[in-house]
Structure 1
Amino acid sequence: MSFLRFAARRVAEMAATLLAASFVVFGAMYLAPGSPASFLLSGRSASPEALAAINAQYHLDDPFFVRYLSWLGDIVQGDFGRSITYRTDVSRLLADRLPTTLLLVLMALVVVAVLGLVLGWIAAVRGGRTDSAVLVGTTLAVGTPSFVAAVLLQGLFAVNLGWFPSSGSGEGFLDRVWHLTLPAIALALYLIGMLARVTRSAMTDALDSEHVTVARSRGVPERQVIRRHVFRNSLGTVLTTGGLIVSTLLVCTILVETAFSIGGVGQLLELSTTTKDFPTVQAISLIIVALFMAVNLIVDLVLPLVDPRITLGTRSSSA
């Protein structure tokens, strides 16, 4: 199968899955108790005429499939609807908050990639006490939820030592990076441990492989053996966790943004869910699903280039 055909098939599969996900995202909100009208009324009684006006304004009295098709058509055109809570376009809310969340996720992803790969590499190559120390450290990291890490880091480095801000997202790029450093570390801690363990396991298996033994017997320098024959052959296993890492970052950012009072999409999702702001929750949920699927698509396309042993379509067909 050619690369272009494989890429086209995966994009088509992604579009079909995203369509099914949009139906689930749209329908799930209407299964929850209560309604947007009850929030808008704030517990006050309303005349049938006022309630009918609210339902008509937000199309709450239209049949379900009519609402879904209308919503889907607007989404395709980039219109996510109007926020019930903030009384403004959801697109504007996302435009104001999405850059902060994306920067936070990107910073956390860099921390995860660097520390996770380095710790896994060191543990596999050195072994012995170093390996044991890395295993203990990663066990503690994996066992620490993001919100617990957020509270601990906030208390130590923000409140007690005053090295970093305890809340907010800052203004300007450098100030924003400074404000998001602790949240990024809290967000990344669990995934550092997970990636380090995956990297260590993959490299340990590669070290025991036959081609590594042959390379060493031919006098290939050890650094070159580790870099070309061990680490490179482990990248396939490491990359397959990419989708899981990104999805975990996107989900856990809700807790971290709330803990640090960061005005990002995660905190917006938490507030919108509480107030049953249907358009905002649906838009954010669909964006998270789309980002997760896009990452998996990129991983599927990159894997055969990184590891020639993986043929096009092997991973997707086995999954």
Structure 2
Amino acid sequence: MSFLRFALRRLLEMAVTLLGASFVIFGAMYLAPGDPASFLLSGRSASPAALAAINAQYHLNDPFAVRYFRWLGQIAHGDFGRSIEYRTDVSRLLADRLPSTLTLVAMSLLLVLAIGLLLGWVGAVRGGATDSTILVTTTVAVGTPSFVAAVLLQGLFAVRLGWFPTGGTGQGFADTVWHLTLPAVALALYLIGMLARVTRAAMLEQLAGEHVAVARSRGVPERQVIWRHVFRNALGTVLTTAGLIVSTLLICTVLVESAFSIGGIGQLLELATTTKDFPTVQAISLLIVALFMVVNLVVDLLHPLVDPRITLNDRRSAG
């Protein structure tokens, strides 16, 4: 299967999946107990005229299908509705907060890839006491949830030592990096341990392979053996794990952003869920689903480049 055909097929699958997800997301908001109007009023009493005005403003008297397709049409034009809590367009809220979340995710991903791959490589190649130390360290990292790491790092390095800010995102590149360093570490810690263990296991499997023994018997330098015949062959497994890592980062930002008071998408989702801000919750949920699918698509397209043994037909069968 050609690259273009595979990409077009996956894009079509993504469109269908996103359509199905939009229906579930929109419908889930109306499965909550009680009348949607009561959520909009936040428990306050209202006259029949005021209640009728709310129902008319949010089209609550329209059939479900009519409301859904109207919402879908608005999204197609980039209109996610108006936030009930913030009294502004949801699109503006997303545009203001998305950069902070993407910056945090990017910093965390760099930490995960750099440290996780390095630890996995060193553990597999060195072995012995070094490998044992890395295994213990990564086990502790994997066993530490992001919100626990956030509290510990904030208490030690921000409150007690004062090396980093306790929260916020800062202004300007350097200030933003300074503010987001602790959140990025808290977000990355668990995933560093996971990637290190996966990399180590994949490289050990390759080291035990016959092709490595043949390469060494031919006098191929050890560095070249490790790079070309071990690490490169292990990259397929690592790449699959990297896709899961990005998805996990997007989910765990909710906890970390709340702990560090970062005005990103994660904190916005938590606040919108608490206040029953339906349009905001729906928009963020749909955005996260779309990001998940984009990550999976990128991983599928990169797999044949990383591991020539895998073809697009293999990815199609796996999908």
TM range (shorter): over 0.9
Distance in 1 between the 2:147 and 2:86 partners?
Answer: 27
Q: Which residue of 2 aligns with 1:258?
A: 258
1:16 paired residue number: 16
What is the identity, as a one-letter code, of the residue corresponding to 2:150? A
Matches within 5 A, 1:75-94: 75-94=75-94
Tell me the amino acid that sits aligned with residue 62 of structure 2: D
Question: 2:156 aligns to what?
Answer: 156
Instruction: In structure 2, give the amino acid aligned to 1:33.
Output: P
Q: 1:124 to 1:102 in 2, by over 3 A?
A: same
Q: Which amino acid aligns with 2:193?
A: G
Contact 1:167 1:179 in 2 (8 A): yes
The answer to whether 1:71 aligns with 2:71 is yes
Cα contact 1:141–1:189 (8 A) shared by 2: yes
Which residue identity lines up with residue 260 of structure 2 in the other structure?
F
Alignment of 1:137-156 (within 5 A): 137-156=137-156
**1:213-258 CA distance string (max 9 Å, x none):** 1111110100011011100000000111122111111111000000
Larger mean Cα displacement after TM superposition, 2-11 or 174-183 = 2-11
**CA distance in structure 1 between the partners assigned to 2:148 and 2:27 by the alignment:** 33
Q: CA separation in 2, counterparts of 1:32 and 1:70?
A: 21
CA-CA distance at 1:11 after TM superposition: 1.2
- Residues 293-308 of structure 1 mapped to structure 2, 5 A cutoff: 293-308=293-308
Report what 2:281 is aligned to.
281
Corresponding residue for residue 109 of structure 2: 109
Distance 1:316 1:179 in 2: 42
| Deviant stretches of 4+, over 4 Å | none
Q: For structure 2, which runs of at least 5 residues remain unmatched after alignment?
A: none
How does 1:150-299 map onto structure 2 within 5 Å? 150-299=150-299
CA distance in 1, matches of 2:36, 2:178: 38
What is the match of residue 7 of structure 1? 7
Give the Cα–Cα distance (whole angstroms) in 1 for the partners of residues 225 and 234 of structure 2. Answer: 13
Deviation at 1:318, TM superposition (A): 2.3
- Counterpart CA distance in 1 for 2:313 and 2:193 is 30
Which amino acid counterpart does residue 160 of structure 1 have in structure 2? R
Report what 2:27 is aligned to. Answer: 27
**Residue 82 (structure 1) shift:** 0.4
Name the SS of the counterpart of 2:181 in structure 1.
helix
Query: Structure 1 pair 29/87, CA: closer, same or farther in 2 (3 Å)?
Result: same
- Post-superposition Cα deviations, 1:143-177, rounded to whole Å, max 9, x if no partner, equal 10000000000000001110000011111121111
Contact 2:30 2:36 in 1 (8 A): no
In the alignment, the residues of structure 1 paired with residue 173 and residue 76 of structure 2 have an alpha-carbon distance, to the nearest angstrom, of 31
> AA paired with 2:16?
A
Secondary structure of residue in 2 paired with 1:240: helix
- Partner Cα distance (1:18, 1:44) in 2: 36
Which amino acid is 1:121 matched to? Answer: W
User: What is the CA deviation profile of residues 286-310 of structure 1, one whole-angstrom value per residue up to 9, with x for unaligned ones?
Assistant: 1111111101000000100110100
* 1:98 equivalenced with 2:69 (yes/no): no
CA distance in 2, matches of 1:215, 1:234: 16
Amino acid at match of 2:318: S
> Aligned runs of 1:35-54 on 2, under 5 Å?
35-54=35-54
Residue segments in structure 1 that go unaligned for 5+ positions in a row: none
Shift, 1:42, TM fit: 3.1
Q: 1:108-133 CA deviation, whole Å, 9 max, x = no partner?
A: 00000101100000011011111111
Cα distance in 2 for partners of 1:82, 1:313 equals 43
- Amino acid of the residue matched to residue 47 of structure 2? S
Shift of 1:32: 1.8
Letter aligned with residue 241 of structure 2: T
CA distance in 2, matches of 1:93, 1:36: 22
Tell whether the 8 Å contact from 1:147 to 1:256 is kept in structure 2 after alignment: yes
Report Cα offsets for 1:256-281 as digits up to 9, x if no partner. Answer: 00000111110000000001101100
Q: CA deviation at 1:36?
A: 4.6
Contact 2:232 2:307 in 1 (8 A): yes
Shift of 1:41: 2.2
AA at the equivalent of 1:266:
G
Q: TM (normalized to structure 2)? A: 0.98
Distance in 1, Cα, partners of 2:30 & 2:313: 37
C-alpha separation in 1, matches of 2:263 and 2:106: 16
1:131 and 1:35 mapped to 2: Cα distance? Answer: 58
**Counterpart AA for 1:10:** R
CA distance in 2, matches of 1:267, 1:246: 18
Deviation at 1:37, TM superposition (A): 2.5
What is the CA–CA distance in structure 2 between the aligned matches of 1:242 and 1:139, rounded to whole Å?
Answer: 18
